[in-house]
Amino acid sequence: MALKIRLSRVGATHQPIYHVVVAEARSRRDGAAVEILGTYSPRAKKDALSLDLARAEYWLTKGALPTDTAKTLIKKARKKAEITAAEAPAATKEIPAFVPPEKSAA
C-alpha cells in the first residue's frame, strides 16, 4: 500500500480549507484518509497552517511520500516550530517556590 501525504479540499465555494492527510496513493482527492495531520487555510491571515509535526515525521519514516505542496507546508511548519521553540525559553521565567509565612508565638 503506497501512501502519500497530500491535501484534501473541504470548505465552501470560494472559501477553501484543506486537510493535510495521509491517504493511499490511488484513492480520490477527497476520498477516505488514513489519518488527518492538520489543516491549511490559504485565505487566513494568521494561523493559516496547523500541522501535527510528530505524526508527519512518523508517516515520513514509514515511507509516505509528500506531494510538492505538502512538502512545502511541512517545511513551513518546521520553521514555525523552530521559531517558537527559540522564543519559548526567553518568555519563561523561573517562579520562586512558595514559602509559607512564619507563625509568631505571641
CATH of 3-71, one of 3.40.50.2300, 3.30.1320.10, 3.40.718.10, 3.20.20.120: 3.30.1320.10
What SS3 string covers 49-81?
A: EEECHHHHHHHHHCCCEECHHHHHHHHHHHHHH
User: How would you classify the pairing of strands 65-66 and 15-24?
Assistant: unpaired
Q: Could you identify the residue written with the cell 509565612? A: 101
Containing 88, the helix (H) or strand (E) segment is helix 68-91
Q: Whole-prediction pTM value?
A: 0.76
> According to the model, what pLDDT value does residue 100 have?
73
Residues 7 and 21: beta-carbon distance below 8 Å: yes
Is 16 strand, coil or helix? strand
Q: What whole-number distance in Å separates Cα of residue 10 and Cα of residue 16?
A: 6
Each residue's pLDDT expressed in tens, for the chain with a length of 106 residues: 799 999 999 999 999 999 999 999 998 888 888 999 999 999 988 889 999 999 999 999 999 999 999 999 999 999 998 888 887 665 556 666 777 777 776 5
Locate the domains of the chain by residue range: 3-71
Total count of residues recorded for the chain:
106
Q: Identify the CA nearest to 56 among candidates 81, 28, 31.
A: 81
